[in-house]
Amino acid sequence: MRTQTRLDAAIVESLLAAAVAAPSIHNTQPWRFRLDPDSQVLEVHSAPERTLPLTDPMHRAQYLSVGAAVFNLRLAAVHQGRRPEVRLLPDPHEPGLLATVRLTGSLDADDQSSDPGLYEAIARRHTSRMPFTGRPVPEPIVAEMASAAHAAGARLHVPGITGTRRLLRLTAAAEARNRAHLDRTAETRTWITAPGADTPYGIPVTALGPPDAAARMPMRDFTCALPALRRPALWFERHVQVALLSTSHDRREDWLRAGQALQYVLLTATAHGLRTSLLHQAMEWPDLRAATDLPGHKRCHPHMLIRFGYGPDGGRTPRTPGQCPVRAAASPATDTETS
Ligand SMILES: Cc1cc2nc3c(=O)[nH]c(=O)nc-3n(C[C@H](O)[C@H](O)[C@H](O)COP(=O)(O)O)c2cc1C
């Protein structure tokens, strides 16, 4: 029988520091943590006040973000020499409880061989919306990224030139729709923050990228047509390297799994010195999301288009330090608790 570990404050702090470093849509950080003092289980809840009702009405992107945070929690537990036992959606009566993590004891020799480079990559990973050099990523690294997705229960497909063009065209179509949708642009704009703004959420303008001078790369335009926020255009890489992350089912637990797979892939890339950015726009329109699925593949539910390559680092985004109130006996989540 596995022993249960008491989570002292230092362990909880290190787990949460790793969790909140995860990527999240518009840097909404849509998670909250709580510790059940009896079971010593760390609970990961959704944060209903940090959702995007127009961009993400089904909360799919929120689940992806929380899944990425859960993956970081697992790595941090292993880094502490503890074995994490993760349950997704453990309680049907509490839909806002997205995952629980229980540390069940010490790792054995095999577990300890799990890649320490991934944990270190957590702090180094940042979204880079800058042009990349176009230098091809060696095949063994791409294969490792695909294995990472597979190990987390997802699939990573790296298309050839024609397939890449098709995915970028669909992303560009989604981006055009987003820009034309005034309420969506207004929603996005509320998550863009001025330099020096004292807010732990959202994306500072310094972390936004330039538009592509060749208008080929459909990066998300977070400036929402505000000329004051727009940077001068730069030339993006001609040969774009992208990968499509998908799962074979499309339930809520698959979205959480896809989020874990996303983070596994991003950290694998980071550990190899790659930069990454995310092109999620097509996933936000049901018809365009359906059109991104892989021709000839049954049961392919796409979740993210990942751009990867060599290039400059991205600008920093802020985080709210993870806090972990102790769960009062049988109390439901309240909106007054912070992340
Ligand atoms: C589900 C999801 C969707 C995202 N979509 C986009 C996107 O379309 N364009 C983009 O530039 N960044 C996108 N991001 C990246 C976030 O903006 C980024 O993770 C966040 O601002 C935190 O910054 P960091 O990744 O540098 O830590 C997405 C992230 C997630 C998890």
* Tens-place pLDDT, residues 181-217: 999 999 999 999 987 788 999 999 999 999 999 999 9
For residue 310, count CB atoms less than 10 angstroms from its CB and return exposed for 0-12, middle for 13-18, buried for 19 or more: middle
Where does the pLDDT of residue 326 fall: very low under 50, low under 70, confident under 90, or very high at 90 and above?
confident
Beta carbon of 203 within 6 Å of any ligand 1 atom: yes
Atom 4 of ligand 1, nearest CA residue: 25
For residue 156, count CB atoms less than 10 angstroms from its CB and return exposed for 0-12, middle for 13-18, buried for 19 or more: buried
Separation of CA 92 and ligand 1 centre (Å): 29
Closest to 210 in 3D by CA, of 229, 191, 185, 192: 229
C-alpha angle with apex 177: 173 to 183, nearest 5 degrees?
160
Q: Note the CATH number of domain 139-309.
A: 3.40.109.10
Where does the pLDDT of residue 4 fall: very low under 50, low under 70, confident under 90, or very high at 90 and above?
low
Separation of CA 279 and ligand 1 centre (Å): 8
What would the two tokens of residue 15 be? 């787990």
The pLDDT of 78-85, averaged and rounded, is 92
What would the two tokens of residue 72 be? 């970081």
What would the two tokens of residue 161 be? 């030139």
Tens of pLDDT, residues 84-98: 999 999 999 999 999
**What is the C-alpha separation between 80 and 76, in angstroms, rounded?**
6
Atom 5 of ligand 1, nearest CA residue: 280
Q: From 122, 219, 280, give the residue whose CB has the most ligand 1 atoms within 8 Å, as the site to mutate.
A: 280
Beta carbon of 26 within 6 Å of any ligand 1 atom: yes
- CA of 22, closest atom in ligand 1: 27
Atom 1 of ligand 1, nearest CA residue: 61
Separation of CA 327 and ligand 1 centre (Å): 30
Beta carbon of 64 within 6 Å of any ligand 1 atom: yes
What would the two tokens of residue 80 be? 């502490």
30 three-state secondary structure: coil
- State the pTM of this model: 0.95
Question: What percentage of the chain reaches a pLDDT higher than 70?
Answer: 93
Residues of the chain with CATH 3.40.109.10: 9-123, 139-309
Tens of pLDDT, residues 148-159: 999 999 999 999
Atom 19 of ligand 1, nearest CA residue: 23
**What is the C-alpha separation between 137 and 8, in angstroms, rounded?**
42
Q: From 20, 26, 289, 306, give the residue whose CB has the most ligand 1 atoms within 8 Å, as the site to mutate.
A: 26
Residue pair 157/243 in contact by the 8 Å Cβ criterion: yes
Instruction: Name the amino acid, one letter, at 16.
Output: L
Name the H helices within 21-101. 60-79
Q: From 127, 289, 303, give the residue whose CB has the most ligand 1 atoms within 8 Å, as the site to mutate.
A: 127
Name the H helices within the chain. 9-20, 60-79, 109-112, 116-124, 139-151, 161-180, 182-189, 252-271, 286-291
Specify the CATH number for 9-123; select among 3.90.550.10, 3.40.109.10, 1.10.10.60, 3.40.50.2300. Answer: 3.40.109.10
Separation of CA 137 and ligand 1 centre (Å): 22
Beta carbon of 127 within 6 Å of any ligand 1 atom: yes
Beta carbon of 306 within 6 Å of any ligand 1 atom: no
Residue pair 338/201 in contact by the 8 Å Cβ criterion: no
